[in-house]
Amino acid sequence: MREASANFRGVIDSVPTGVLIHRRGRVLYANPSFCAALGFDPAGRDVEDLVAADGREAIASVLAPNADAARRLPRVEVPFRRADGAVVLLELAPSQPVEFDGEAGVLVGHDVTERREMQVKSQLADRMASIGTIAAGVAHEINNPLTYVIDNVRRIGELASTASGGSRSELRELVGEAVSGLERVELIVRDLKMFSRADGDAVSAVDVRDVIESTARIAASQIRSRAQLTLDLAEIPKTAGHPTRLGQVILNLLLNAAQAIPEGAPDRNRIDVVARSQGGVTVIEVKDTGSGIRPEHLTRIFEPFVTSMGGTVAVESRLGEGTTIRVTLPVTTPPAATPPAVEPRVVREAIRKRILVVDDEPLVARALQRALRAHDVTVALGGREALDVLRADAFDVIVCDLMMPGVSGIDLYEQLPGELRRRFVFATGGAFNQRAQQFLAEVPNQRIDKPFDPKLVAKMVDEFQPLDAR
């Protein structure tokens, strides 16, 4: 028995897989592979104390000592803290209890840190490739309306410089076409915002139809010369997930479908996107009439982004006949977050007010000034200038750009007292970093999306009570 025990210990000590034995979460023994992964011998310490803060819930799920629980539990990835302060990701699988001076639990662990890093790099490479494709398509889609918008504006300038000023009907037509073209550009930019969001890991209630429609518009220029794109989108409950990740998945599926179809015969080929709610899940199907996917390449399309949202991907493909890729996502809308306390809005009469417009773009500031011409407007070109103005004067409303170099709208807001903070209206062309997104999610202030509707800006300002009327 001693010889068998020694031989068994020798085997456990020599295997490249980490083995840890614990009793009620206290480490009794860790083999050299487990010690090497951590950079020290954890014997005598609690397993939970070895784990990084964001891994406590995961480790608790695998410390169950009974055999039935061990058989049911899947492998779980848990971040551990190394002796040098780095974090190592171990994929743990609980095993059946063993006899180790009494019954003890066993954890078998594989170091998957390098594998996860490679996956992240691969995902980044895929995303960069998609960005290149998006950039080419967006340039094409924006250049078309810009061509006639610029031409129309030049013509308007010519007419304005003549003695007659041109006919009113021609001017109305030119302005109408220019506005229509700019609205097309606005829609494209709005779709792109989904892919520029910095909160790719933040779970929220996703409107699947909106994501599909936005992504389809972005991919349209790449599909147009190859196939007809159709969308069949039923009413779908909002799904808990990552909007940016889901958009990336849909974009990859559409681009892959397009690349499987040769150019030149769009009337004979199709890419159909079908989305529906079925049995408590959301099912998204992308079907194409392309060349199909070879069996050895099928695993490449299984997108980790889908599995990270609790979903699955299935593929049906026949060479020469096309491919159907089916993404299934759980319909589990997260509970609505409690909104911050906000004072009830009271619609005020259109009383002339003193307004400070803060924007580092002079032409944008001028546009806001025109929208608010019914009031007394002071313009500050940037946050630093606004600080100087506010030290010397008081205003009823502050319409402030969110993202500015130097002193941003966030910095300006945080340096002012509470009374002035309540008078901020933020104008933003897109919160493209995590700080800005978190700030907008937390503050109760009203905001204006650029490009803005002048009537909406004026309406927001009208809701504020003048300082001297309190």
Give the separation between CA 171 and CA 350, rounded to whole angstroms.
32
Q: Is the pLDDT of residue 124 over 80?
A: no
Residue 420 zone, left/alpha/beta (φ > 0; ψ -120 to 50; rest): alpha
pLDDT digits (tens, 9 = 90+) for 38-60: 999 999 999 999 998 888 887 88
Give the separation between CA 128 and CA 117, rounded to whole angstroms.
16
CATH topology of domain 354-469: Rossmann fold (3.40.50)
pLDDT (average), residues 69-73: 54
Architecture of domain 204-337: 2-Layer Sandwich (3.30)
Give the separation between CA 437 and CA 321, rounded to whole angstroms.
45
Q: From 49, 78, 46, 83, select the one nearest 62 (Cα to Cα).
A: 78
Instruction: Tell me the CATH number for domain 113-196.
Output: 1.10.287.130
pLDDT digits (tens, 9 = 90+) for 309-346: 677 888 888 888 899 999 988 876 544 555 555 554 44
What are the backbone dihedrals phi and psi of residue 434, each rounded to the nearest 5 degrees, phi first?
A: -65, -35
Burial of 118 (C-beta count, 10 Å sphere; 0-12/13-18/19+): exposed
Q: From 264, 142, 118, 263, select the one nearest 192 (Cα to Cα).
A: 142
Which token pair is 100?
């180790």
Looking at residue 368, its amino acid is: L
In 37-183, beta strands by DSSP E: 76-81, 87-99, 103-111
Q: Predicted confidence band at 399 (pLDDT cuts at 50, 70, 90)?
A: very high
Q: Which residues pair with 152 in a beta bridge?
A: none
Q: Is the pLDDT of residue 414 over 60?
A: yes
Give the mean pLDDT of the chain.
81
Residue 24 zone, left/alpha/beta (φ > 0; ψ -120 to 50; rest): left
Q: Predicted confidence band at 351 (pLDDT cuts at 50, 70, 90)?
A: confident
Instruction: Tell me the CATH number for domain 2-111.
Output: 3.30.450.20
What is the model's pLDDT at position 463? 87
Helices (H) then strands (E): counts for the chain:
16, 17
Task: Give me the residue spans of the domains in the chain.
Answer: 2-111, 113-196, 204-337, 354-469
pLDDT digits (tens, 9 = 90+) for 139-161: 667 777 778 788 888 888 777 77
Radius of gyration of the chain (CA): 30
CB 66 within 8 A of CB 50: no
Q: Predicted confidence band at 347 (pLDDT cuts at 50, 70, 90)?
A: very low
Sheet with 87-99, strands from edge to edge, namely: 26-30, 18-23, 103-111, 87-99, 76-81
- Matching CATH topology for 2-111 and 204-337? no
